Amino acid sequence: MHSRTIFYLTIILASILSSCILNAENKAHKSELNRYSGPIIDMHLHAYANPSPLFGQQMPPNPLTGKSYTSSASLEAHKEECFSIFKKHKIVKAFVSQHAEDWKKTAPDLILSGKGQRYSIEELREFHANGLLDIIGEVAPNYQGLLPNDKRLHPYFDLAAELKIPIAYHLYPGGPPGGAYFAYPKTRAKQVKPLALEEILISRPRMKIYIMHAGWPYLEDMKALMYAHLQVYVDVGVISWALPRAEFHHYLQGLVRAGFGKRIMFGSDQMEWPGTIEEAIEAVNSADFLSLEQKEDIFYNNAARFLQLPEEEIARHKAQ
């Protein structure tokens, strides 16, 4: 080959390689600029009054993702690890379902307390009067085989409307994959379609409600429900880390594309495994179809609006 030809080919190849490297660097830089690092409101966490039997154990690999998680070694370690992650990631509000008393005593401005349908209406009223009920939830009757429109649940919806506090409603997933065969024998996938809530909403138009786990896997039903009922919000919950990342992004993108980005809230559904909080944060932050503004809405703004946080509190959070 002529030496001049080799010279020109070398220049062309070097130019192509340089362009590829520059494009990769620009893409990485753009991705880093698009990462949200402001305050976060986590609308879905769990604490425990007594040591969980899963403490000190390794979770079996998730059959959908192949991932496993290490639980906290003890009740005290669980609290310490969660609060450390709150501080690291600027989690300024955290809704804790069921056993929030100890955490709320430690950080009353940080922790929001919830109780679900395992308590009577009278007990919930007492919790609310004592400042221990910020949200009714999580309400998860599918584990008992109950449909959303079961009359036994109506008093809980009525109480949420009366007290003017939100209700956090769990539809699906129903525990771990295959959970109906061992952990939750009464749960059924056919009972958890979001549109089953429609008459409940119609009869209580001022009730504040959010659907945990965003109604997965019923994307079209969830879009229909949110279109028809502007008061309905969702949290991303367990689907942010228990599903393959591509499936979570597909579902999240479906809701955002439909125009519901202002009513999607962050929630980790952290249970015995504090590390899932960070994985849930990364699942949202790695969604390249979201702008930085959309991520800020999901991580903070939407929940601040839903919870009706005072302007001065929002300003304080954003100044951190």
Q: Report pLDDT for 14.
A: 59
* Most distant CA atoms of the chain, gap in Å: 92
How would you class 28 by CB atoms within 10 Å of its CB: exposed for 0-12, middle for 13-18, buried for 19 or more?
exposed
The pLDDT value given to residue 320: 82
Among 28-42, 110-124, 298-312, name the one with the lowest average pLDDT.
28-42
Could you say which DSSP state residue 273 is in?
Answer: -
Residue ranges of domains in the chain: 1-33, 37-319
Q: What angle do CA 193, 245, 68 make, to 5 degrees?
A: 100
Residue 207 gets which letter from DSSP?
-
pLDDT score of 174 = 81
By the 10 Å C-beta count (0-12 exposed, 13-18 middle, 19+ buried), 94 is classed as buried
Closest CA to 71 of 60, 85, 83: 60
Asked whether residue 20 carries a pLDDT value surpassing 80, the answer given is no
- The pLDDT tens digits for 106-156 are 999 999 999 999 999 999 999 999 999 999 999 999 999 999 999 999 999
Label residue 24 by pLDDT band (50, 70, 90): very low
C-beta separation of 159 from 124 below 8 A: yes
Q: What is the CATH class of 37-319?
A: alpha beta
Give the closest residue to 175 by CA, choosing from 95, 96, 217, 238.
238
> From CA 14, how far away is CA 11, in angstroms rounded?
5
For position 15, what pLDDT does the model report?
A: 62
Per cent of the chain over pLDDT 90 is: 86
3-state secondary structure of 169: strand
Cα–Cα distance for residue pair 114/116, rounded to 1 Å? 7
